[in-house]
Amino acid sequence: MALTYSDINAITTQHIVPKTTDVIFKNDPLFVRLMSKNKINFEGGLFIQRPIMFSELANGFFARGDQFDTGYRQTDTAFSVNMKFGYVNVTLLGTDDVLNRGPEAAFSLVESKMANASLTMAKLLGTTVYQDGQGVLSGTKSLDGLMAWIDDGSTNATYTSLTDVRRSFAAVGGITRADIVAGPSSGAATTYSQVNGINSYTNRDVSSFSLNVVNAAYGFSWFGADQPDLLVCTQGAYNKIWNATISNQRYMRADSDLAKVGIQSFQFNAADVTISKYLNDVAGSTYGVILGLNSNYMELYVSANKKFQFGFTGFKEAQNTIDVSGQFMFAGNLVVPSPRTSFKLVGTDLA
């Protein structure tokens, strides 16, 4: 009969290192900036309504005897987005409370699960912020993400029905883009005159990378004091920018909000260039992506209700068991009130 334990195993206990290492989660630079700089409390209401100014008043020069155009003009409207709700569940088995205790417990199972829950919530939000919330790249229950906000609403049939990051989004935040600016993009790339209203400069077919392509997109998104201040890239796109710049152009930022939490970036024009692994997951292996983002016009609304501000519901015992479950909760959504000051580049040559 084979014995379960050898002599050495029978008289020697295991040494469990009293710490665990994360091998699944990915700290995201955009989510760090949103939480540190762009988080806004949502006190309550049926939805988030964010006013925008989209048209100018009647104006012009006049000569003696001319009449003014005194007709009323609508100049303002508003984005409207629903609150989105997220959760992370923590379940503990009642019998484990007997086993994982005292000097035999290298560390607390409860603490490990709670730490995992926090990281899982960050992954949930950090991934969906790069999707769309319109049922294409993510479900409609997810955040209204950047792929829909940072877009030009191209009417080209090649892009209106795709299910990857080249997809065009005719509407966002309850507004149809063509209702703000006549003549939305009809091709792979936005023209100068189309970068207006709630259209972002978008190029969905970057087949030949150069720094000039990135710089041109940056220029299209530059309006006076408003321009992108964060370039979030997939791994391949980051490599392209890094390799195209010479060593004395790569000023690694030591004073940014990203550096304070250990995320490296270097500067391109006035923007921090960094990698997002979650953006990489959303894009897949075929297409690379560069999102040039003006973080001054990115607003992450989070419920002021403490329970839904990453709060914990407390453990509840399930009926007819001694097992318990509790949930970490989130309620909020993303609004980008000035998409034209950001840009999106997608292409096979960025992968």
180: closest CA among 344, 52, 50?
52
pLDDT of residue 23: 46
Confidence tier at 261 by pLDDT (50, 70, 90): very low
Q: CB–CB of 173/79 below 8 Å?
A: yes
pLDDT at res. 1: 58
Point out the least confidently predicted range of 45-49, 103-107, 126-130, 201-205.
103-107
Q: What is the DSSP letter of 26?
A: -
Q: Are 175 and 194 in contact (CB under 8 A)?
A: no
**Residue 127 is assigned to a structural domain of this protein:** yes
In a domain, 260, yes or no: yes
Please state, in angstroms and rounded to a whole number, the distance separating the CA atoms of residues 36 and 336.
Answer: 16
Mean pLDDT computed over every residue of the chain: 86
Per-residue pLDDT, 106: 46
The three-state (H, E, C) secondary structure of 290-346, written as one string: EEEECHHHCEEEEECCHHHEEEECCCEECCCCCCEEEEEEEEEEEECCCHHHCEEEE
User: Could you tell me which residue, 29 or 60, shows the higher pLDDT?
Assistant: 60
Q: Which residues contact 150 (CB under 8 A, 6 or more apart)?
A: 200, 202, 291, 293, 336, 339, 342, 343, 344
**Range 157-185 average pLDDT:** 92
> What's the total number of domains in the chain?
1
Give pLDDT, residue 156: 94
How far is it, in rounded angstroms, from Cα 23 to Cα 19?
13
Structure tokens that stand for 1 in this block: 């009969």
CB count in 10 Å sphere of residue 51: 10
Per-residue pLDDT tens digits for 199-254: 999 999 999 999 999 999 999 999 999 999 999 999 999 999 988 886 655 555 55
174: three-class secondary structure by DSSP: coil
pLDDT at 301: 94
This prediction has a pTM of 0.86
pLDDT, position 105: 54
Output the pLDDT for position 321.
87
Report the percentage of the chain scoring pLDDT > 70: 84
Is 7 within a domain?
Answer: no
Stretch 56-68: mean pLDDT, rounded?
A: 94
Length of the chain measured in residues: 351
* Domain membership of residue 346 as a residue range: 29-45+77-350
In sequence order, the β-bridge partners of residue 84 are 332
Which helix (H) or strand (E) segment holds residue 128: the answer is: helix 109-128
Dihedral angle, C-alpha 171, 189, 266, 212, nearest 10 °: -160
**181-206 pLDDT, tens per residue?**
877 788 899 999 899 899 999 999 99
What tens digit of pLDDT does each residue of 67-84 get?
A: 999 999 999 999 999 999
Q: Is the pLDDT of residue 26 over 90?
A: no
pLDDT band per the 50, 70, 90 thresholds, residue 340: very high
- pLDDT above 60 (res 21): no
pLDDT at 22: 47
Q: Span 120-137, mean pLDDT? A: 94
What does 28-78 look like in DSSP terms, one character per residue?
-HHHHHHHHHSEEEE---SSEEEEEE--PPP-----TTPPP-------EEE
Highest mean pLDDT among 26-30, 260-264, 292-296: 292-296
% of the chain at pLDDT higher than 90 = 59
Q: Do residues 296 and 226 lie in contact, with contact meaning Cβ atoms separated by under 8 Å?
A: yes
Q: What pLDDT, on the 0 to 100 scale, is given for residue 94?
A: 80
Instruction: Check whether 7 has a pLDDT greater than 90.
Output: no
For 6, the 3-state DSSP assignment is coil
pLDDT at 116: 87
Mean pLDDT is lowest, of 1-5, 17-21, 48-52, 121-125, for 17-21
Q: Work out the average pLDDT over 281-308.
A: 94
Q: What is the mean pLDDT of residues 37-60?
A: 90
pLDDT given at position 30: 86
Q: Which are the contacts of 178, defined by CB distance < 8 A and separation ≥ 6?
A: 153, 155, 170, 184
